[in-house]
């Protein structure tokens, strides 16, 4: 079978039945990948012509926008034309399972905890990616994004405690410094794209702040001069956390600014009153050529993605991993 790769216009030969990823790697075509098992979405690419068998990678906001597939799971059926998105932004961090030790566990807000872990081996990831953490054997695995690596070289995660959640409702009582946790990662395709100067709009609700902080910090620490705007949405002031850190980032970097959007504000509150979609509508009339990073509940991701595309954002420059709440 002949596969024409866009945007490079290189044609490769591939055997019928092999996966797209196998064909790419055998022919020296670079593509982002990580888990090799259909879980992380990192190897997503787009079928322009021809057909492959395998699961669609198009969920929700992408479903209306062309045929996206996972290269590691899609088997070649015909001659095809395949587009590899952003070939200059390739990442390949193989997903690993590592042992990690709890270094600290503390309170960020009434229902958000900060967990710091030290892994037993080197762990590479791109800002914005996530891992699966297994706290104990039975049904104890949940997905959390890395908020970054701290000064003492530990990985930081933000965990929302869900009332009656099978795992998180027990954490305050059972999480102990020195405990061992299994970490499987990195996963996810919503990672920082570094090789561009496009303005960035980062939108987080709840503990979606963790990957968004990681992306903002990754961009600023690597010297990216892009204008970076963050909208952090919450229901009330009591649900906010991390503002000291955001203030420090904003005062140290003139290209970064953030605004808080609250469903309910107190009288004289300095914060924007409304949903993150209202904040987009009021502050960002034209998002053509922007990069948009979204992290939070699926309903927010869908609504914010729609609000951005209505303001001319390119759907293929909107990055978000699907997270479904689990306690
Ligand atoms: Fe294909 Fe993770 S590498 S889905």
* Residue 11 Cα to ligand 1 middle (Å): 23
Please identify, among 62, 89, 116, the residue that sits at the C-terminal boundary of a domain: 89
Cα 18 off chain centre by: 29
Q: Which among 61, 7, 21, 10 has a CA at the least distance from the CA of 318?
A: 61
Testing ligand 1's pocket by substitution, the residue of 41, 69, 74, 189 carrying the most ligand atoms inside 8 A of its CB is: 41
Testing ligand 1's pocket by substitution, the residue of 70, 75, 92, 143 carrying the most ligand atoms inside 8 A of its CB is: 70
* Per-residue confidence (pLDDT) for residue 141, from 0 to 100: 86
Mark whether 162 and 210 lie in a shared domain. Answer: no
- 100 is a domain residue: yes
Confidence of residue 153 (pLDDT cuts 50, 70, 90): confident
- Taking residues 110-130, what's their average pLDDT? 94
Mark whether 45 and 149 lie in a shared domain. Answer: no
Testing ligand 1's pocket by substitution, the residue of 20, 25, 43 carrying the most ligand atoms inside 8 A of its CB is: 43
Q: How far apart are CA 36 and CA 95, in angstroms?
A: 8
* Per-residue confidence (pLDDT) for residue 53, from 0 to 100: 83
Q: Is the confidence metric ipTM above 0.90 for this complex? A: yes
Higher-pLDDT residue of 16 and 256 is 256
Mark whether 257 and 242 lie in a shared domain. Answer: yes
- 327 is a domain residue: no
Mark whether 108 and 205 lie in a shared domain. Answer: no
Mark whether 122 and 33 lie in a shared domain. Answer: no
* Residue 232 Cα to ligand 1 middle (Å): 29
Mark whether 247 and 270 lie in a shared domain. Answer: yes
Mark whether 7 and 109 lie in a shared domain. Answer: no
Number of domains in the chain: 3
Please identify, among 89, 121, 151, the residue that sits at the C-terminal boundary of a domain: 89
Q: At 306, which helix (H) or strand (E)?
A: helix 298-310
Domain CATH for 73:
3.10.20.30
What average pLDDT does the chain have? Answer: 90
Domain limits for position 67: 2-89
Mark whether 213 and 295 lie in a shared domain. Answer: yes
182 pLDDT above the threshold of 70: yes
- 192 is a domain residue: no
Mark whether 222 and 303 lie in a shared domain. Answer: yes
DSSP, collapsed to helix, strand or coil, labels residue 184 as strand
Confidence of residue 273 (pLDDT cuts 50, 70, 90): very high
- List all residues whose CB is within 6 A of at least one atom of ligand 1: 33-36, 38-43, 70, 72
With a pLDDT cut of 90, the percent of the chain lying above it is 72
- 117 is a domain residue: yes
* Residue 25 Cα to ligand 1 middle (Å): 14
Mark whether 312 and 205 lie in a shared domain. Answer: yes
**Which atom of ligand 1 lies nearest, measured to the CA of 36?**
3
Please identify, among 46, 74, 89, the residue that sits at the C-terminal boundary of a domain: 89
Q: In this predicted model, what pLDDT tens digit does every residue of 46-57 receive, in sequence order? A: 999 988 887 665
- Measuring from atom 4 of ligand 1, which residue has the nearest CA? 38
**Which atom of ligand 1 lies nearest, measured to the CA of 35?**
2
Q: Which residues contact 93 (CB under 8 A, 6 or more apart)?
A: 34, 124, 125, 126, 129, 186
């Amino acid at each position: 079978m002949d596969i024409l790769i866009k945007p490079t216009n290189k044609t490769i030969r591939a055997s019928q039945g092999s996966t797209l990823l196998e064909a790419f790697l055998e022919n020296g075509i670079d593509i982002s990948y990580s888990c090799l098992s259909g879980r992380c979405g990192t190897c997503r690419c787009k079928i322009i012509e021809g057909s492959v068998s395998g699961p669609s990678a198009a969920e929700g906001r992408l479903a209306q926008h062309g045929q996206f597939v996972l290269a590691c799971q899609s088997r070649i059926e015909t001659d095809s034309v395949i587009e590899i998105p952003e070939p200059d932004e390739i990442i390949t961090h193989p997903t690993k399972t590592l042992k990690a030790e709890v270094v600290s566990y503390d309170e960020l807000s009434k229902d958000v905890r900060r967990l710091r872990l030290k892994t037993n081996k080197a762990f590479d990831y791109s800002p914005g990616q996530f891992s699966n953490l297994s706290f104990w054997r039975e049904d104890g695995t949940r997905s959390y994004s890395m908020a970054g690596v701290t000064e003492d070289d530990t990985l930081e995660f933000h965990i929302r405690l869900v009332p009656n959640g099978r795992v998180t409702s027990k954490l305050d009582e059972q999480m102990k410094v020195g405990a061992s946790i299994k970490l499987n990662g990195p996963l996810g395709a919503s990672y920082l794209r570094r090789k561009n100067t496009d303005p960035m709009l980062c939108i987080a609700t709840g503990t979606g702040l963790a990957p968004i902080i990681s992306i903002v910090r990754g961009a600023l620490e690597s010297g990216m001069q892009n204008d970076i705007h963050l909208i952090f949405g919450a229901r009330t002031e009591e649900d906010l956390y991390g503002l000291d850190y955001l203030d420090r980032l904003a005062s140290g970097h003139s290209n970064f600014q953030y605004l808080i959007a609250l469903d309910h504000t107190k009288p004289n509150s300095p914060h924007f009153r409304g949903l993150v979609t209202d904040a987009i509508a009021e502050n960002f009339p034209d998002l053509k050529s922007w990069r948009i990073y979204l992290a939070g509940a699926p309903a927010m991701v869908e609504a914010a993605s729609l609000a951005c595309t209505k303001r001319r954002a390119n759907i293929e420059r909107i990055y978000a991993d699907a997270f479904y709440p689990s306690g």
